[in-house]
Amino acid sequence: MIKKGILYKSWWKYLCIIFLAYTVIAGFLIPVPVKPILHETIRNLYFHVCMWFAMMFILTVSLYYSIMYLRNPKEDYDIIASQCSYVGLIFGILGLITGALWATYTWEGGTGGAGWISDPKINGAFIALLSYFAYVVLRNAMDDEQKRSRISAVYNIFAYVMMMVFIMIYPRLSNVDSMHPGNGGNPGFNSYDLDSHMRMVFYPAVIGWILLCCWITSINIRTERIKRYLHNI
């Protein structure tokens, strides 16, 4: 059993608690700029956007470990890759839910209508989630451990590259306007006209949520390690 490494340290978990507590408290208390449609819902920025950042981060980690597994098939790489993508999936679902809530109160004029709008980013995100669901299905379809690890690593790399290229390229090309910021060419983030108050919350929030994501993943990884260890005795 491996009992070293950053997963077993606790300082970053305290950091995560501090950042997230700050996000929640300051996020709801610090004044935000008054924008026509958004009003107070702009505070959702600290939650919705961070979910996607955390998802992208953890899926990239998953990709890294899938590549590592193909280069050097160690069981532990497979555990990390799979748990990362499961957690990424959860954060993706949370991102969709927070986004749908936000959309309900802004894009639909607060009538409580559908939160689902055809938007290049939403479609991209939804498809990314579908492909990771397919990854879960694929893993469950196989019993043999080594085979499962290798084949799901292949699919993980395949899916990740397709999705990332799609998410990066498609919004730039789409002639359908995105309601997300940065439409008209750039799917990036720089056109958020955050004022300095919002930045003060937003950056810690991103780090906090990513740390939380890592924390959940680390617990999953450790559980899975123990499960495999018990299974192999």
Q: Which is nearer to another protein, 133 or 229 (CB)?
A: 133
Segment lying near another protein (by CB under 8 A), choices 4-12, 92-100, 101-109, 161-169 = 161-169
Q: What is the DSSP string of 132-179?
A: HHHHHHHHHH---HHHHHHHHHHHHHHHHHHHHHHHHHHHHH-SSPPS
The position carrying tokens 């996000």 is 23
Q: Which residue among 151, 179, 200, 216 contacts another protein (CB under 8 A)?
A: 151
Say what the alpha-carbon torsion angle 125, 130, 131, 137 is, to the nearest 10 degrees.
150
Q: Is 194 in the site for another protein (CB under 8 A)?
A: no
Q: Which amino acid belongs to residue 39?
A: H
Segment lying near another protein (by CB under 8 A), choices 16-24, 85-93, 141-149, 202-210 = 141-149
CA-closest candidate to residue 55, choices 218, 226, 214, 170: 214
Segment lying near another protein (by CB under 8 A), choices 36-44, 79-87, 137-145, 203-211 = 137-145
Compute the distance between CA of residue 156 and CA of residue 20 in angstroms, rounded to an integer: 30
- Nearest approach in angstroms of CB 231 to another protein is 21
Q: Which residue among 22, 155, 192, 215 contacts another protein (CB under 8 A)?
A: 155
Q: Is 74 in the site for another protein (CB under 8 A)?
A: no
Q: Which is nearer to another protein, 30 or 162 (CB)?
A: 162
Listed in sequence order, the DSSP H helices in the chain are 11-29, 45-71, 75-106, 120-141, 145-173, 196-232
The site for another protein (CB under 8 A) is made up of 70, 123, 127-128, 130-131, 133-134, 137-138, 141-142, 147, 150-151, 153-155, 157-159, 161-162, 165-166, 169-170, 173-175
